[in-house]
């Protein structure tokens, strides 16, 4: 059997979730996807899910269908009474004033999506100036990438000296093992001490059904390189752009296999995200 035991959680942060706001905020005219109504979870629904699983906080990631309009995410943060922080979606020309305003409203970084857009966001001539503004603001540059993309942009990110955070442990090609260039680039960032990795989205890389045992060597290598001081966990709720039903419990339960020690899980679920993103237990 592949059954995973549920893990007991008293406090913790889900560091990768998206929220949608129904008709209150419109989607952008041009967008990579529009969520199926069953996948367009609201902030209130996310709160209920977190409460049901003993989690207390969440790091929201701006949802692609809204384009560069972060209104829905900011609304959720404002209503959360300190439970939510955010990763915004911004353009190359975002100003220092706009970054400061977002910071004052609970945003701690921005997402650069190589998975959807290719290398263009970081090879654009405006990218160096953007990265400089992000570094000065102390923001995390959250990278969604796959396969060897991180290796291709590593020189740009290193030169910029920004704090990076990598989604879904880099979405590696499982068939190529941890020696593939993209994953070695991830591990090198981890050993630098200036990067964070999300132990999230195993179902997006795995070639096996739950509980995704084929991801274990990648997770083990990531934990060793980044240490628990720079590893966080995320569910990827509400599981957009997938064809099969996905539930929160299985996504959380795999953490019990990756980190069987309760103290280690507490560090990844609470101590590390609280320190990195400024979550408060009050």
Q: pLDDT tens, 248-265?
A: 999 999 999 999 999 999
Q: Which two tokens stand for residue 80?
A: 């959360």
Can you name the residues that pair with 60 across neighbouring β-strands?
17, 86
Which pLDDT does position 169 carry in this prediction? Answer: 98
CATH code of the domain covering residue 42: 3.20.20.140
Q: Residue 1: inside a domain, yes or no? A: no
- Give the tens place of pLDDT for each residue, 2-43: 457 777 777 899 999 999 999 999 999 999 999 999 999 999
Which pLDDT does position 3 carry in this prediction? Answer: 55
Q: Residue 6: inside a domain, yes or no? A: no
Q: Can you list the residues of the chain whose pLDDT is less than 70?
A: 1-3, 282
Q: Residue 103: inside a domain, yes or no? A: yes
Which pLDDT does position 1 carry in this prediction? Answer: 36
Q: Residue 196: inside a domain, yes or no? A: yes
CB 89 within 8 A of CB 99: no
Q: Which residues contact 88 (CB under 8 A, 6 or more apart)?
A: 62, 70, 73, 102, 107, 109, 110, 111
- For 150, other C-beta atoms within 10 Å of its C-beta total 25
CB 46 within 8 A of CB 263: no
Q: Which two tokens stand for residue 244?
A: 């099969």
Which pLDDT does position 183 carry in this prediction? Answer: 98
In our burial notation (b when 16+ CB lie closer than 10 A, e otherwise), range 33-67 reads: eebeeebbbbbeebbebbeebebbbbbbbbbbbbb
Q: Residue 5: inside a domain, yes or no? A: no
State the total domains in the chain: 1
pTM: 0.96
Q: Residue 69: inside a domain, yes or no? A: yes
Q: Give the burial class of 125: count Cβ atoms within 10 A of its Cβ; 0-12 exposed, 13-18 middle, 19 or more buried.
A: exposed
Q: Residue 100: inside a domain, yes or no? A: yes
Q: Residue 282: inside a domain, yes or no? A: no
Segments forming the whole domain that contains residue 122: 13-277
DSSP per-residue letters across 108-154: EEEEEEHHHHTTHHHHSTTHHHHHHHHHHHT-EEEEE--TTHHHHHH
Distance of CA 202 to the CA centre of its chain: 12
Which pLDDT does position 171 carry in this prediction? Answer: 98
Q: At what angle do helices 149-160 and 127-137 cross, to 10 degrees?
A: 60
- Tokens 């207390």 map to which residue? 56
Q: Give the burial class of 112: count Cβ atoms within 10 A of its Cβ; 0-12 exposed, 13-18 middle, 19 or more buried.
A: buried
Which pLDDT does position 11 carry in this prediction? Answer: 87
């Amino acid at each position: 059997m592949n059954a995973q035991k549920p893990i007991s959680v008293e406090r913790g942060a889900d560091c990768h979730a998206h929220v949608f706001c129904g008709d209150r905020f419109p989607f952008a005219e041009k967008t990579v996807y529009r969520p199926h109504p069953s996948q367009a979870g609201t902030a209130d629904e996310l709160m209920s899910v977190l409460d049901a699983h003993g989690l207390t906080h969440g790091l929201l990631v701006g949802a692609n269908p809204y384009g560069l309009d972060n209104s829905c995410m900011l609304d959720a943060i404002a209503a959360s009474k300190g439970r939510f922080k955010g990763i915004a979606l911004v353009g190359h020309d975002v100003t220092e004033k706009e970054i400061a305003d977002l910071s004052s409203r609970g945003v701690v970084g921005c997402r650069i999506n190589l998975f959807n857009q290719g290398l263009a966001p970081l090879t654009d001539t405006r990218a160096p100036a953007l990265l400089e503004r992000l570094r000065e603001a102390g923001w995390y540059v959250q990278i969604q990438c796959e396969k060897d993309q991180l290796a291709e942009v590593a020189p740009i990110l290193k030169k910029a000296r920004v704090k990076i955070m990598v989604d879904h442990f880099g979405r590696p090609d499982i068939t190529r093992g941890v020696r593939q260039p993209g994953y070695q680039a991830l591990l090198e960032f981890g050993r630098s001490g200036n990067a964070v990795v999300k132990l999230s989205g195993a179902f997006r890389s795995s070639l096996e059904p739950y509980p995704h045992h084929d991801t274990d060597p990648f997770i083990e290598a990531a934990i060793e390189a980044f240490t628990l001081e720079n590893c966080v966990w995320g569910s990827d709720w509400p599981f957009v752009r997938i064809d099969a039903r996905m539930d929160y419990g299985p996504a959380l339960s795999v953490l019990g296999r990756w980190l069987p020690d309760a103290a280690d899980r507490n560090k990844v679920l609470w101590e590390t995200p609280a320190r990195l993103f400024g979550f408060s237990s009050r």
